Structures are given as structure tokens and as C-alpha cells.
Amino acid sequence: MIFWIYNLALLLLSPLVALFVLYRIFVSKKSGKAWRDQLGFVNIPREIADKKPVWIHAVSVGESVASAAVVAELKTIAPEIPVVVSTTTQTGRSQAEKSIRNADAFIYYPFDLLPCVANSVRQVNPSVFASTDTEIWPNFRHVLRSRKVRSALINGTISDHTLNGAAKLPWLYRWALGNMDMFCMQSQEDAERVISIGADPAKVTVTGNIKWDQALSDLDGLDIELLRKRYKIAEGTPVFVAGSTNPGEDAPVLDAFLMARKEHSGLRVVIAPRQIERKDEIVQLARERGLSSSWRSQPDTITGKEDVLILDTFGELAKIYALAQITFVGGSLIPRGCHSILQPITLGKPVFFGPHTFKARDVTSQAERAGVGFRINSADELGKQMTTLLSNPEKLVDIERRCHDLVDANHGAAVKTAESLLSSIIRQ
């Protein structure tokens, strides 16, 4: 009955769905390259489909990066089994192709319309499907169950938003989750939450957060001396790195930097905006405060004498944290939910974040308990606490040790997840 209600609703909404698809293709261009796959016309090499691959779905950029660790473990344990990776966005696809070097094919995830889903699943012909975080599209899970394909949620986390949605449509979530075979959750709290919205407790396990493992992989080839030369930051220069800042966060970061620099005159700040096109905006904010700037996209602007270095390029933030004594991660002073704090912690750096951490609830709580993460509510708090830490090198050494202990305690989620997926194939 729920199946028919859901699809009748989609049918009634089909004119709006069609307009939405056309908008994404021709106006926003977000589906300009993806629409054929999203409609179910997937091009999979026959030799892969015949081998019943593992299908990993990573929604967008962050999930694409995290999924790389699981794919690497799958190919290490069972290299003969192909892996197909899907994403929802074009930026996610680009990041997946850069990060996931072991995948055998990349595709886009279909719209949750029966013909699109059925055609896509038929062409990929997977042995098991696993999506990251909270992707539980009902028709897709239903079709997987009807074709006897094992269905999993990996690196699962249940946000407050998902809980609210489940409270409004409990019957829909119970149906969707009832079509799934395995829930590999990030934490015990996430496990309890997914059970509360309809998952079978016997199918739920806690495997940890695979982003901890990927944070280590992101640092492969780290060369600190090369970084110092590239950014003209001399050894011994105190550095504050503010990563993944959003509009509304750069000004507080600069104000905190100015406050800390009153006592630490050599301090420099690196700002890596989440939206790299905001470089000019940050330059103007710095200029209003009497600060000079340089930016990575034009290396000749970097002289080593400027106050602010803007990292307006992709793929370099993870390693530049290595030059910092103090770090801040954005998306947290504004209600975005907080971006990843794992990379600075992996490098042994104290990390500050604002009050809005609902998307990183478990990780920020772990960091606070371990004494390596610090929640602040304003530029004034950030500036004062930065100043205190920079004045206490023994404390920074202790934080570095605590960071490494925390990373060690969380290592291994990717292996557990890969083993769980492969065991589900054996049970078929």
C-alpha cells in the first residue's frame, strides 16, 4: 500500500518533477552532464555488469572523499570484484574521480522514479548497493529488494533534520528502511536514532566514521618544507589556518586574528573559503582592517610579508593545516552544521569551531572530550583562546599527543565497513 501511495504522489507531482529536471539541465546546469544517467540510461561496461559489482553511492563532494577509503579497502580485500561509484552532483563526480582511484566505473545516481531506478539497477546489476550518510530513497530501495540485491547504509548518521522528517512521515521511513539489509552507523547514538525511525535492530551495527581513515589518506605525500616554500612561510612563524569559511565567518576570523596578533606580532592567517570565488570579498574585508593579502590562484602575489593568505584553490586545505599552530573550521559560526574538523586533528592541531555543529555532532563531541576541540561563540572568544594557546607551547605539545590518540582510537572504520559489505555478498 505504501508503495502505491508514494508513487501516486510522485505521479501527481510529475509536472513539477519534470520542470525541476528541466531547470537542472538547462538553467542551473547542475544536471547538464548527469541527466542521462539520472533518467536511468547508464553506460556500464558489460564485463563489469556481468561480474555483479559493488555499487557505492556518495551523495556529493564530502561523501565522495570519504568513500575513497572504503573503496580502497574493498579492492585490497577482494580485487576481483568491480566497484561502481555514483554521485548526485557534478562537483561530487569530479571529486570522486580525483579521490577514488580504485573504482572501475563512475555514474550518476538516478531520480527516484520507478522507470529511472529500474533501468539503472538493471544495467549496473550490482551484488550489493551501499550509500553514505542518510540516502534512503524509497523506490530505489524497493527495486533493489525486488531484484534481491543487498542494500546497505554505510557511514550512517541520522541528523536532527532526518529525525524531524521521520516524525512527519513515519510510515514512509519504516517502508524505506524495511527494504534495507544493513546499517553501518558512525556512532552508538546514530545506531539508536536509525532504530527509532524504523530500522531493524538486528541489522544495525556501529562501524565508526570512515572519514577518520580518509583524513589520513589525504595526507599522503605531505612535504612540509615544500609547503613552506610554496607559501613563503618561514619555520617558526606562527600560523592560524581558518578552513572552509562561509559568508559571515571571515570577518570574525580576521577580528580574532587581529586580537591574537597584539601579543604575537609575527602571526599570519591563512583563510580557505568554502566558496573559492569569494576571494575578492575576503581581500576587501582584510583591507578594511588595514591588512594586506595574497591568494594562491596568483602565486606571484605571495611574498611572505602579507598578513592574510587566501587559499582560493581546491585540494590543498588538508595539507596546509600542517603549517598551523591554531586552526578554525567554518560552517559553525553560522548554522551550516560545521565542516570537517578531522584533517587538523589528524595533523595534531587544536581546532576551534562555533556553536552550530549539528552535522558533525559526534566528531565535535569527541574532540571536546579529548581536549583538542574548542567551541567558541564569537570573535572575541576565539581571539582570547587563540592568544592563550599560542602563549603556551607545552599545551600545544600536549594537544598534539591527544590528537594522535584520538585518531588511533577511531582508525579502522573503512576496513570494518568493507568487510561488512563483502560478507553480505557471501550471505546471498
**Amino acid 91: pLDDT:** 77
Q: Which residue ranges in the chain fall short of pLDDT 50?
A: none
Which residue ranges make up each domain of the chain? 21-208+412-426, 222-410
**Amino acid 29: pLDDT:** 65
**Amino acid 315: pLDDT:** 81
0.85 exceeded by the pTM?
no
Q: Decide: 61 and 69 in contact? Cβ < 8 Å.
A: no
Decide if 21-208+412-426 and 222-410 have a common fold: yes
- Secondary structure of residue 326 in the 3-state scheme: strand
DSSP code at position 110 = P
75-119, pLDDT tens digit by residue? 999 999 999 999 988 777 887 888 888 899 999 999 888 999 999
139-164, pLDDT tens digit by residue? 999 999 999 999 999 999 998 888 99
Q: What is the fold of 21-208+412-426? A: Rossmann fold (3.40.50)
Tell me the DSSP string of 223-287: -HHHHHHHHT--TT--EEEEEEE-TTTHHHHHHHHHHHHTT-TT-EEEEEESSGGGHHHHHHHHH
381-406 burial string, b = 16+ CB within 10 Å, else e?
A: bbbebbbebbeeeeebeebbebbeeb
**Amino acid 4: pLDDT:** 74
Cα 322 from Cα 60, distance rounded (Å): 26
> In terms of CATH architecture, what is 222-410?
3-Layer(aba) Sandwich (3.40)
